[in-house]
Amino acid sequence: MTTQLPGHAHRERAGAPTHDGSRLRAPARHVVHARVTADPVDVTELEALVADPSAGAVVSFGGIVRDHDGGRPVTMIEYVGHPSAGDVLARVAADVAARSDAEALAVAHRLGPLQVGEAALVVAVSAAHRQEAFAAAALLVDEVKEHLPVWKRQQFPDGTDEWVACP
């Protein structure tokens, strides 16, 4: 016997809903922002961009520069991007939007020198339900990390540096 709470559509436990009777329309799947920039990026700004009356959930992610990597202290990093990075980011965002049930999504990746504590990658996704928003946000982060032609140089306190994920 399945007990259903008032206002909650029945969902199959093994995966996505078989039918979401709570929606008034299909997901919009809009990319509202996809930008590679040297300017600071802000989670709150992207969250506001994806706001939608159909969205019951907004999930955001901020990839923040941390003070360590591989057991070594890091003082700062620098991101260098291929000239095609902006176009690649737009294509990745459009692909994720088409493959998800997001109402809207936004993504920004920073280039140039970044200090510890600054955001390097910011993602925000709105969707009717939290599962859809979490899934789309995770997929977007993974796809950006896999396909975006951006490379990271880490600097260490002793003055040495290393390139990470650089061909």
Average pLDDT, the chain: 89
pLDDT of residue 9: 43
CATH fold, domain 30-164, is Aldehyde Oxidoreductase; domain 3 (3.90.1170)
For 112: left if phi > 0, alpha if psi spans -120 to 50, otherwise beta; the answer is: left
Q: Is the pLDDT of residue 19 over 60?
A: no
Q: What is the pLDDT of residue 1?
A: 44
In this structure, the number of other CB atoms found within 10 A of the CB of residue 129 comes to: 19
Phi and psi at residue 6, to the nearest 5°: -60, 135
- Which percentage of the chain shows pLDDT scores above 70? 88
92 has pLDDT over 90? yes
Give the pLDDT mean for 135-161.
97
Residue 157 has pLDDT above 60, yes or no: yes
Domain boundaries, the chain: 30-164
Task: Give residue 4's pLDDT.
Answer: 43
pLDDT in tens, 38-75: 999 999 999 999 999 999 999 999 999 999 999 999 99
Confidence of residue 23 (pLDDT cuts 50, 70, 90): confident
pLDDT(143) > 50: yes
Residue with more model confidence, 79 or 166: 79
Q: Among 112, 122, 120, 101, which Cα is nearest to 48's? A: 122
DSSP the chain: -----TT-----TTSS-S--TT-SS----EEEEEEEESS---HHHHHHHH--TT-SEEEEEEEE--SEETTEE--EEEEEE-TTHHHHHHHHHHHHHHHS-EEEEEEEEE-EEEETT-EEEEEEEEESSHHHHHHHHHHHHHHHHHH--EEEEEE-TTS-EEEES--
CA distance 2 to 4: 6
pLDDT at residue 152, as a whole number = 96
pLDDT at position 48 is: 98
Distance, CA of 152 to CA of 79 (rounded, Å): 5
